[in-house]
Structure 1
Amino acid sequence: MTMVTIDHRAKNIAQLEEKWQSLTIKDDTMFGIVMENQDICLELLRRILPELDIKLDV
């Protein structure tokens, strides 16, 4: 690889990291990731709706 290619890849990686850091739950990608992970989803629901005392039935 040439230095130009390496520099270009490094810039792309930096841009992707910046986009990732700026995601919120309103973003479709982040919402999907949260909803697919049972532990994270449960924690989010408990924080949003603490009055419901949400339990996990196993």
Structure 2
Amino acid sequence: FYGFVRPPYLQVVWADRNNRFPWEPGFQARFDGLQPLLWLPRDDNPPTPWTRIDQP
């Protein structure tokens, strides 16, 4: 898709229990906001286990 140019980051997004992604109609709202947004600094993401990975 990107040819010979690698993107600066890779965003991995997982589906909800009904195999719908956040941008699809019917995505379960309770899962919204749980996935980190890699283009934002860690402290700008909501507190989740992903934002505490490097903390004891």
Q: Say yes or no: TM over 0.5.
A: no
Higher relative contact order by CA 8 Å / sep ≥ 6: 1 or 2? 2
Q: What TM-score, normalized by structure 1, do the two folds share? A: 0.23
The alignment's TM-score, normalised by the length of structure 2, stands at 0.23
